[in-house]
Amino acid sequence: KVQLLIHVGIDTVTLQGHGFISHVKPGMTIRKGETLLSFDAAYLASQGKAATVVIIVTNLEDIHGCITKNLENKSAVLKISYK
């Protein structure tokens, strides 16, 4: 299993969740291709917030390799291989 911490935006905590939809809950098992999070980039911009996305793999000791991709292409963001 891979454990992820996903943070969207800079200083977006002040929005108190407005503009974000979480499609999963902590501890859930997800499958390849499932949507984890949606956010309204236009709303973030209207509030003066950048839509920077940070994804952190929190259990790297269990992972053999991790390849990241640019979000602009709207395909897979991470490719994980296990030990």
Q: Catalytic residue numbers?
A: 7
For 44, the token pair is: 């973030």
Reading phi first (left if > 0) and then psi (alpha if -120 to 50, else beta), residue 9 is in: left
Instruction: Give the pairing type, strands 78-82 and 4-8.
Output: unpaired
Q: Phi then psi for 14, rounded to 5 degrees? A: -70, -15
